[in-house]
Amino acid sequence: MNIHSKRCDNFIVLEVQGRIDGISAPELKRTIDHHAATGERLIVLDFSAVSYMSSAGLRVIVQGQKTLKPLGGDLILVAIPELVRDIFRVSGMDQFLTILPDFQAVQQSIQPDARNDARVTTEPDGSRYEWKKGPDGHGRYFLIGNNGKLVQAAYRQQDNVVVKPAKIRFGFGLAALGEDFGDFKSLYGETLIVGRHFFSYPAVERPLVDFSLYQPGSDHSFNFLYGLGMNGNFSGVLRFDSSQEPADLAKLAEVAGTMTDAPLFAVVILAKSGGIQWMHLKKTPILENHPENGTIFDAVNFHQWMNFTPEPDDFNKTVVACGIVGKNIRTVPPELISLFPGDGNLHIHAAIYDYGLWNNDIGNFETELERIVTDFNVQKVVHLLPASRLAHGFIGIIELEQN
């Protein structure tokens, strides 16, 4: 059996030639799984050159459809020779699979969706972008605490700022869960808030993510040393596919910036990683941990305080991230300048998960974001570096004004 893959509009065609049997069926499964993992949701199997198929091949096709259907996709079969089609009829699977006579019928079957009125562009390097505009209006940001004491590890109990879940839809910073400072003072860590769900990576020797999933009426405390909270609706969602050559975070932030006139905006990201670089604290920056000399970022102290990746890491993971981007650092509000490291224009925290599949329809971004943060198992929460690379996914944009 031979398989040739080619793109046709917004779906992938697999031209299958020869026998699909117990020996060759695993190769077909690997090919279908590969395209699903790279973000494809509509996969068309061209059977015009298939000479024979056993029940092993039928099983692979049924498994492929079971993978794609819950994600808003489909496995479509076209041009099936009459002898091969008998196995579908005898098994009764022709009643459950999408079987069409030719490619014209494929085009007609998917055309009414019109990709949810999204605008689609393709770059010379093969990167593909879709943009779906949301409602007009601006979101609001509010500063939490003071990040000026971070470099000296000089925080005290009175620096702790309590934020309740109902007050913050998205956010990032350095925070911990708990009601008594004595219990959580050593547990502050890189923090991400998505859809009011809280995830923190305590700065301890063997950290595990602590989290709190939001329910209406939740009134527990998010304890911040510093952070930024953001509320509002998405002004639009950008879907990107750079799976041929993963794009770095800085480039994706630049592309997102072309979709909005706002000089400052929040990004909420759901993506597959193509090799990311990150850092997180090893120790909580409270006064009792204050370094004897210099700051926590000085060379003499840095390795005691920070865990980081000198080379790309965490390939093929699910990344959920939240942060801010300033188009021009010179126009960023003065109170936010300290949140942008060095001469950078973005500050983003991310939760890292094992890779799983999600619905790739741009209209389902918020639904899938909620499902993933509440259902997937999170491994860590980190500060993403601009060189991090993402293969495909979504970026939700919230245009920001001060609260």
**Which pLDDT belongs to residue 3?**
96
Q: Tell whether the model's pLDDT for residue 124 goes beyond 80.
A: no
Nearest by Cα to 260 from 94, 137, 353, 159: 137
DSSP letter at 72?
Answer: T
**Which pLDDT belongs to residue 111?**
57
pLDDT for 318-334, tens place per residue?
999 999 999 988 888 99
**Which pLDDT belongs to residue 125?**
74
Residue count (the chain): 403
Of the candidate ranges 110-119, 186-195, 305-314, 339-348, the one whose mean pLDDT is the lowest: 110-119
> Mean pLDDT across the stretch 277-297?
95
Instruction: Report percent pLDDT > 70 for the chain.
Output: 98
State how far the Cα of 70 lies from the Cα of 76, in Å rounded to an integer: 15
pLDDT for 37-89, tens place per residue?
888 889 999 999 999 999 999 999 999 999 999 888 999 999 999 989 989 99
Please check whether residue 267 is in contact with residue 324, taking contact to mean a CB–CB distance below 8 angstroms: yes
Q: What pLDDT band is residue 116 in, cutting at 50, 70 and 90? A: low
Architecture of the domain spanning 2-115? 2-Layer Sandwich (3.30)
Query: Which option is the CATH number for 139-402: 3.30.1330.80, 1.10.10.10, 2.170.150.70, 3.40.50.300?
Result: 3.30.1330.80
**Which pLDDT belongs to residue 271?**
96
> Mean pLDDT across the stretch 173-185?
96
Q: What pLDDT band is residue 8 in, cutting at 50, 70 and 90? A: confident
Work out the mean pLDDT of the chain and round it to a whole number.
Answer: 92
**Which pLDDT belongs to residue 53?**
94
Tell me the domain boundaries of the chain: 2-115, 139-402
**Which pLDDT belongs to residue 117?**
66
Please check whether residue 201 is in contact with residue 173, taking contact to mean a CB–CB distance below 8 angstroms: no
The torsion angle over the Cα atoms of residues 355, 359, 362 and 366, rounded to 10 degrees, is -80
The better pLDDT of the pair 136, 225 is held by 225
pLDDT for 353-370, tens place per residue?
998 899 888 989 999 999
**Which pLDDT belongs to residue 380?**
97
**Which pLDDT belongs to residue 350?**
98
**Which pLDDT belongs to residue 242?**
85
Q: Tell whether the model's pLDDT for residue 115 goes beyond 80.
A: no
> Mean pLDDT across the stretch 394-399?
97
Please check whether residue 293 is in contact with residue 340, taking contact to mean a CB–CB distance below 8 angstroms: no
Kindly tell me the burial class for residue 69, based on how many C-beta atoms sit within 10 Å of its own C-beta (0-12, 13-18, 19 or more).
middle
Q: What pLDDT band is residue 113 in, cutting at 50, 70 and 90? A: very low
**Which pLDDT belongs to residue 76?**
95
Nearest by Cα to 82 from 45, 51, 56, 55: 51
> Mean pLDDT across the stretch 261-289?
96
**pTM higher than the cut 0.95:** no
Q: What pLDDT band is residue 311 in, cutting at 50, 70 and 90? A: very high
Q: Tell whether the model's pLDDT for residue 244 goes beyond 80.
A: no
